[in-house]
């Protein structure tokens, strides 16, 4: 027998299981809710972890994985000073660096329309715009030719906040009071990706010419050097050569060199650990739901002892009884996993939207979440099914 006729017994078992579960009503709903919440937790955790990793990778893809950051490393209480001429000469020594952008980063307060706005102050050479891939929405960038001129370029979010505080948009040529200095706005940047490797958020920054830092910073020393590697250069070997280069010139002191590829490798390892942790939390929730399924099935066995005894008395095999109860547990798990998958995907999407990320479904979310739910249903449904199959028909028929 093949085709639809061969599936008839299976359909009868499934429909019978659905009817029995529907008769339990409240208990079925509670067990279904437990499985759905557990599955949703697993799915949501997988989506959140996957999208966090993809967002971090997307930032590096935009900025490029050939970035490096050089920061001064002090010896004891003595800070390391990076002379600008030594930094700017770095690309000419064939160490694997093709471009550098030294800058001074600190915090500042800007007064706009009676409000005080906190911002990042960046005193940088004009090569920083190229390395950070910053675009100009209005006006122009700062330049080495500006010298000590009191000019400033505002980040997109900073300019927006200033416009809200002042009640009018920021225009080129406006005077801006920053700390105890008055600077002239010469440009406004377009929206920019944050650069985690450089700890640089241009959207919230005010950029001034490198030498203008003497007007606003008490000790204008280079805090960070952004660099771009020569195409094809080995990042670890380049980092070692650059560190040796500065070590020979700066005594005492030295620098710490970190590349984007090293940060990506470390980030991927952390994401794997976080992913396993999140998966374990979701799995615990799923096990709790499985315990609910087992409780429902055990209560069903107790209440249907006479039915089980009657089925055995008229010829049903013990494996038929086992299959009947196991099918009910799997139906519960399947319905719960479907509901939980939808809820978990919705939760992951809402988290991505709230974080400003582009949602991308985790490849393993659907098969792993549904597979775990079915495995839990099968595992926690096996004991009640086996217990029902072991009932003595005579004792079951006498049960009240």
Domain shared by 194 and 284, yes or no: no
Domain shared by 272 and 236, yes or no: no
pLDDT digits (tens, 9 = 90+) for 238-250: 999 999 988 888 8
pLDDT digits (tens, 9 = 90+) for 207-234: 999 999 998 888 888 999 999 999 888 8
DSSP annotation string for 141-166: ---GGGTT--EEEE-HHHHHHHHHHH
Domain range for 152 is 83-249
- Dist. CA 328–CA 321, nearest whole Å: 11
Domain shared by 8 and 125, yes or no: no
Q: What share of the chain is helix, strand, coil (3-state, %, to 5)?
A: 60, 20, 20
DSSP annotation string for 281-314: HHHHHHHHHHHHHHHHHHHHHHHTHHHHHHHHHT
Domain shared by 132 and 241, yes or no: yes
Domain shared by 381 and 274, yes or no: yes
pLDDT averaged over every residue in the chain: 82
Domain shared by 155 and 29, yes or no: no
The answer to the question of residue 381 being in a domain is: yes
Domain shared by 98 and 179, yes or no: yes
- Dist. CA 117–CA 321, nearest whole Å: 72
The answer to the question of residue 209 being in a domain is: yes
C-beta atoms surrounding 35 within 10 Å: 30
Final residue before a domain boundary, out of 214, 249, 284: 249
Q: State CA 146 to chain mean position distance.
A: 40
Query: When comparing pLDDT for 73 and 153, which is higher?
Result: 153
The answer to the question of residue 74 being in a domain is: no
pLDDT > 80? residue 271: no
The answer to the question of residue 239 being in a domain is: yes
The answer to the question of residue 256 being in a domain is: no
| Signed CA dihedral, 165, 170, 174, 179: sign only | positive
Least confident of 96-100, 195-199, 266-270, 343-347: 266-270
Final residue before a domain boundary, out of 249, 277, 299: 249
pLDDT of residue 6: 44
The answer to the question of residue 257 being in a domain is: no
Domains: count for the chain = 2
Domain shared by 171 and 283, yes or no: no
Domain shared by 88 and 161, yes or no: yes
Q: What percent of the chain has pLDDT over 90?
A: 28
- Could you tell me if 189 and 134 are in contact, meaning their C-beta atoms sit under 8 angstroms apart? yes
Short-list 296, 319, 318, 301, CA closest to 399: 301
- β-pairing, 181-189 with 175-178? antiparallel
Say what the pTM is: 0.64
Q: Average of pLDDT values for 370-395?
A: 80
Short-list 178, 179, 160, CA closest to 170: 160
- Could you tell me if 108 and 178 are in contact, meaning their C-beta atoms sit under 8 angstroms apart? yes
- Could you tell me if 140 and 76 are in contact, meaning their C-beta atoms sit under 8 angstroms apart? no
Domain shared by 108 and 152, yes or no: yes
The answer to the question of residue 73 being in a domain is: no
pLDDT digits (tens, 9 = 90+) for 360-379: 888 888 787 778 777 887 88
Domain shared by 96 and 132, yes or no: yes
The answer to the question of residue 72 being in a domain is: no
Domain shared by 176 and 239, yes or no: yes
Tell me the CB-side half-sphere exposure of residue 273, using CA atoms within 13 A: 6
């Amino acid at each position: 027998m093949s085709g639809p006729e061969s599936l008839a017994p299976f359909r009868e078992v499934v429909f019978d299981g659905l009817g029995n579960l529907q008769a339990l009503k409240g208990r079925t709903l509670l067990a279904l809710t437990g499985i759905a919440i557990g599955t949703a937790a697993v799915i949501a955790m997988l989506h959140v972890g996957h999208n966090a990793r993809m967002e971090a990778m997307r930032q590096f893809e935009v900025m490029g994985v050939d970035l490096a950051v050089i920061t001064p490393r002090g010896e004891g209480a003595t800070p390391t000073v990076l002379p600008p001429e030594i930094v700017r000469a770095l690309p000419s020594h064939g160490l694997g660096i093709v471009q550098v952008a030294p800058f001074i980063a600190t915090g500042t307060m800007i007064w706009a329309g009676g409000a005080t706005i906190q911002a990042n102050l960046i005193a940088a050479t004009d090569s920083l715009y190229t390395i950070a891939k910053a675009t100009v929405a209005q006006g122009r960038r700062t330049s080495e030719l500006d010298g000590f001129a009191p000019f400033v370029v505002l980040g997109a979010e900073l300019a927006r906040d200033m416009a809200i505080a002042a009640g009018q948009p920021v225009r080129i040529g406006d005077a801006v009071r920053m700390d105890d200095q008055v600077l002239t706005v010469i440009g406004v940047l377009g929206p920019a990706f944050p650069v985690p490797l450089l700890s640089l958020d241009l959207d919230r920054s005010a950029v001034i010419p490198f030498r203008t830092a003497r007007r606003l910073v008490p000790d204008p020393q280079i805090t960070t050097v952004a660099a771009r590697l020569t195409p094809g250069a080995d990042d670890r070997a380049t980092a070692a050569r650059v560190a040796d280069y500065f070590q020979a010139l700066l005594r005492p002191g030295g620098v710490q060199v970190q590349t984007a590829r090293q940060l990506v490798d470390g980030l991927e390892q952390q994401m794997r650990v976080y992913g396993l942790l999140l998966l374990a939390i979701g799995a615990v929730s799923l096990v709790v739901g499985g315990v609910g399924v087992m409780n429902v099935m055990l209560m069903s066995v107790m209440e249907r002892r006479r039915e089980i005894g009657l089925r055995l008395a008229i010829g049903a095999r013990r494996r038929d009884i086992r299959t009947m109860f196991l099918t009910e547990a799997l139906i519960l798990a399947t319905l719960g996993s479907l509901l939980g998958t939808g809820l978990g995907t919705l939760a992951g999407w809402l988290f991505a939207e709230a974080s400003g990320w582009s949602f991308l479904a985790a490849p393993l979310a659907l098969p792993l979440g549904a597979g775990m739910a079915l495995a839990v249903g099968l595992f926690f449904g096996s004991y009640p099914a086996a217990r029902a199959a072991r009932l003595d028909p005579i004792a079951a028929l006498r049960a009240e």
